[in-house]
Amino acid sequence: MSHAPVLLAEAMDSLALRDGGVFVDATFGGGGYSREMLARADCRVIAFDRDPDAIARGAELTQSAKGKFTLHQGRFGDLSLDEPVDGVVFDLGVSSFQLDEAERGFSFQADADLDMRMEKEGPSAADAVNGLSEVALADLIYRYGEDDESRRIARAIVQARAAAPITRTLAFAKLVEDSVGGRRGARTHPATKTFQALRLLVNDELGELARGLSAAERALKPGGRLVVVSFHSLEDRMVKLFLTARADAQGRGSRYAPDLPPERAPSFALERKRATAPSDEETARNPRARSASLRWAVRTEAPAWDELEPPSLAPKAEAEWAKLS
Ligand SMILES: C[S@@+](CC[C@H](N)C(=O)[O-])C[C@H]1O[C@@H](n2cnc3c(N)ncnc32)[C@H](O)[C@@H]1O
């Protein structure tokens, strides 16, 4: 089992690695990015992952990198560093390790408990499926899964769980498939979006991203690079809005709007406005890269802005989930 890092060369180029620099890998996963950072420059890497299994996998690199590499278990939303850094990279979502280990319950390729907890703690996807109201489930699947069939799926879930709790990945995927009338020739499984919605909720992935982007903004030195690889439109949209808002005020600080408070001076410079997508060759080699999108920006000297508010996309589901958590 392994994880093929996505957009690896592009992420490394965007980080502008340099000898003597200090860089953060906010999502260690299988360590593909961290290893490449250490191979490309005589730098130090501080890495994080919230998944205890990823931390265990990193022990060997901690040893072999001889003081150049440290790995911490924790959420990047809580990122707080003792020193300003030259770059922070996020490679969002789940690793192939998490997807391929059936018992983690992220995938419907194999039968397992409906789990999906990156930290292996707290309420699971099964708790959401069995505990949220029909209206909250529909809200969740529509907003986080961007699935137009959300109401039908939510109704089917509520009917099925009245007979017995829903606990297994395959049975749940089949329930979703049947609720929308089967595959109907679709390229992706009809449960894909529902699984995505549950994963985002269970791990508060959008809240984490909002807090993580702001934490990186505070941690970066002037001239430091923020690099984010995202895998679906909700994430990419948040990164794009975060960077364009913080770069857009460019020049306004003095000439155009002298009254603008200093904390609103642009905290990032966006040298490339468009996202970078993987090459055809990479998507052919690694289907997981298909939806990837990379954005990067350079930190300016201006103070960090107020922390980004996590979007409340599915308020009913979020409120009910908070009570279950
Ligand atoms: C796509 S993988 C990273 C793969 C890595 N770049 C590599 O090359 O092996 C994403 C990793 O981020 C971790 N992760 C997701 N959200 C996180 C968060 N809020 N804080 C810390 N780690 C997180 C996951 O547990 C997973 O291991």
Cβ of residue 5 lying under 6 Å from some atom of ligand 1: yes
For ligand 1, the distance from its centroid to the CA atom of residue 31, given in whole angstroms, is 9
Residue 56: phi and psi, rounded to 5, are: -65, -40
Measured from the CA of 33, which atom of ligand 1 is nearest? 8
Cβ of residue 118 lying under 6 Å from some atom of ligand 1: yes
pTM: predicted TM-score of the whole model, two decimal places: 0.95
Pocket test residue of 10, 37, 50 for ligand 1, highest count of atoms within 8 A of CB: 50
Q: Are 57 and 71 in contact (CB under 8 A)?
A: no
Cβ of residue 49 lying under 6 Å from some atom of ligand 1: yes
For the chain, where do the domains classified as CATH 1.10.150.170 start and end? Answer: 100-204
Pocket test residue of 95, 205, 227 for ligand 1, highest count of atoms within 8 A of CB: 95
Residue 93: phi and psi, rounded to 5, are: 85, -150
Residue 197: phi and psi, rounded to 5, are: -60, -45
Determine the 3-state secondary structure of 86 from DSSP.
Answer: strand
Q: Which residue's CA is the closest to the ligand 1 atom numbered 20?
A: 75
Which amino acid, residue 238? M
Contact residues for 125 (Cβ-Cβ < 8 A; gap 6+): 105, 114, 115, 116, 117, 198, 199, 202
For ligand 1, the distance from its centroid to the CA atom of residue 98, given in whole angstroms, is 10
pLDDT of residue 250: 46
Pocket test residue of 8, 27, 117 for ligand 1, highest count of atoms within 8 A of CB: 27
Which amino acid, residue 39? A
Q: Which residue's CA is the closest to the ligand 1 atom numbered 22?
A: 49
Nearest CA among 211, 208, 206 for reference residue 234: 206
Domain 8-96+205-299 fold is Rossmann fold (3.40.50)
Q: State the Cα–Cα distance between residues 138 and 195, nearest whole angstrom.
A: 13
Residue 125 half-sphere exposure toward CB, CA atoms < 13 A: 30
pLDDT of residue 221: 98
For ligand 1, the distance from its centroid to the CA atom of residue 182, given in whole angstroms, is 32
Q: Which residue's CA is the closest to the ligand 1 atom numbered 19?
A: 75
pLDDT of residue 251: 45
Cβ of residue 75 lying under 6 Å from some atom of ligand 1: yes
Contacts 24+ apart (CB under 8 A), 119-125: 119/50, 119/51, 119/52, 119/203, 120/51, 120/52, 122/202, 122/325, 123/202, 123/321, 123/324, 123/325, 124/202, 125/198, 125/199, 125/202
Q: State the Cα–Cα distance between residues 162 and 130, nearest whole angstrom.
A: 9
Measuring CA to CA, how many Å separate 238 from each of 112, 187, 205, 228, 263? 32, 27, 12, 11, 21
Query: How would you classify the pairing of strands 268-269 and 293-299?
Result: antiparallel
Q: What is the mean pLDDT of the chain?
A: 94
Determine the 3-state secondary structure of 74 from DSSP.
Answer: coil
Residue 136's Cβ-count burial label (10 Å; 0-12, 13-18, 19+) is: buried
Nearest CA among 65, 78, 62, 197 for reference residue 141: 197
Taking the chain (325 residues) in runs of 10, the rounded mean pLDDT of each run is 93 98 98 98 98 97 96 97 97 96 95 98 98 98 97 98 98 97 88 98 98 98 98 96 85 53 82 95 94 98 94 95 94
Pocket test residue of 1, 12, 28 for ligand 1, highest count of atoms within 8 A of CB: 28
Across the chain, where does the E strand assignment appear? 22-25, 44-49, 69-73, 85-91, 220-230, 268-269, 293-299
For ligand 1, the distance from its centroid to the CA atom of residue 310, given in whole angstroms, is 19
Q: State the Cα–Cα distance between residues 188 and 281, nearest whole angstrom.
A: 21
pLDDT of residue 91: 98
Pocket test residue of 8, 35, 49 for ligand 1, highest count of atoms within 8 A of CB: 49
pLDDT by residue (tens digit) across 19-30?
Answer: 999 999 999 999
Cβ of residue 208 lying under 6 Å from some atom of ligand 1: yes
CATH code at 100-204: 1.10.150.170
Cβ of residue 77 lying under 6 Å from some atom of ligand 1: yes
Q: State the Cα–Cα distance between residues 53 and 127, nearest whole angstrom.
A: 22
For the chain, where do the domains classified as CATH 3.40.50.150 start and end? Answer: 8-96+205-299
